[in-house]
């Protein structure tokens, strides 16, 4: 699919993802948001809670550091425990250090005051952000994310991550949302591959995909046409339906 939308990558950080203990839902959620709001997601990468791996990935993915894509979104590793090292690693990738941010500290103090708890050193770790970063507001639990360069760092807890995404995405310069149409056929993927290939060749500006499934009735395939131009999508779908005699 041809697009001039800003490109993006997602970096999921956490040993718990790689061990299988936790199933990642954040990348799936953000992928849907990016497509719907005009960003071209090109890569999803998962790394451990390891400083060198995080630094290398940030530098490889953020084009402000010479990386591959216009925007980088990260998930995980900005909590209060010893293995929450994302702030320090992202700071290192951007050749700076992490420090307590006054506004972040104030937000955490206000939440502690409301809850009648103490702002302990562990909680205060969540106010550490790279020098020069701006904050991403957290409407759920106050501890903010942050943006530096083209890297946008958000929490791993799904509810908090979604709140940060909702705050951040409208503040970024987006392109055109991706549109799609789907048709379901009760045929196997091999039976429709030739027709799908032929239509894809006629519409190189679009993305045509086949997604097989199996249920109690046997094999079926969902055929999806994606692109930025609704009229072109409609034309491609009409061609596909005619070839499949639908």
Residue 86: the pLDDT is 98
How far is the C-alpha of 77 from the C-alpha of 139, rounded, in Å? Answer: 18
**Other beta carbons less than 10 A from residue 106's beta carbon:** 12
pLDDT digits (tens, 9 = 90+) for 8-19: 999 999 999 999
In the prediction, which pLDDT does 2 show? 77
> By C-alpha distance, which of 58, 17, 28, 22 is closest to 165?
28
Instruction: Please write the tens of the pLDDT for every residue from 87-119.
Output: 999 999 999 999 999 999 999 999 999 999 999
Statement: residue 246 has pLDDT above 90: no
Within 10 angstroms of residue 71's Cβ, the number of other Cβ atoms is: 24
pLDDT in tens, 178-214: 999 999 999 999 999 999 999 999 999 999 999 999 9
Cα(203)–Cα(16) distance, integer angstroms: 42
Residue 3 has pLDDT above 90, yes or no: no
Would you list the domain boundaries of the chain?
A: 7-171, 179-244
- Does 179-244 carry CATH code 3.20.190.10? no
- The Cα–Cα gap between 219 and 214 comes to 5
Closest by CA position to 169, among listed 6, 18, 20:
6
Top CATH class, 7-171: alpha beta
């Amino acid at each position: 699919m041809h697009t001039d939308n800003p490109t993006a990558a997602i970096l999921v950080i956490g040993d718990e993802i790689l061990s299988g203990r936790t199933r990642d839902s954040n990348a799936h959620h953000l992928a849907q948001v990016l497509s719907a709001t005009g960003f071209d997601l090109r890569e999803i990468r998962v790394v451990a809670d390891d400083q060198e791996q995080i630094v290398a990935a940030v530098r490889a993915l953020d084009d402000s550091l010479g990386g591959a894509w216009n925007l980088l979104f990260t998930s995980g590793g900005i909590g209060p425990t010893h293995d929450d090292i994302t702030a320090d690693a992202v700071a290192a990738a951007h050749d700076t250090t992490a420090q307590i941010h006054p506004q972040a500290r104030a937000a955490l103090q206000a939440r502690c005051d409301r809850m009648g708890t103490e702002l302990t050193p562990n909680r205060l770790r969540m106010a550490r952000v790279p020098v020069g970063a701006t904050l991403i507001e957290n409407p759920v639990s106050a501890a903010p994310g942050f943006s530096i360069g083209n890297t946008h760092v958000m929490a791993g807890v799904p509810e908090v991550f979604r709140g940060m995404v909702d705050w951040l995405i409208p503040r970024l310069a987006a392109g055109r949302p991706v549109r799609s149409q789907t048709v379901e056929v009760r045929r196997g993927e091999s039976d429709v591959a030739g027709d799908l290939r032929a239509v894809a060749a006629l519409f190189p500006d679009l993305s045509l995909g086949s997604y097989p499934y199996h249920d109690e009735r046997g094999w079926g395939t969902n055929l999806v046409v994606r692109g930025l131009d609704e009229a072109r999508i409609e034309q491609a779908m009409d061609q596909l339906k005619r070839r499949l005699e639908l």
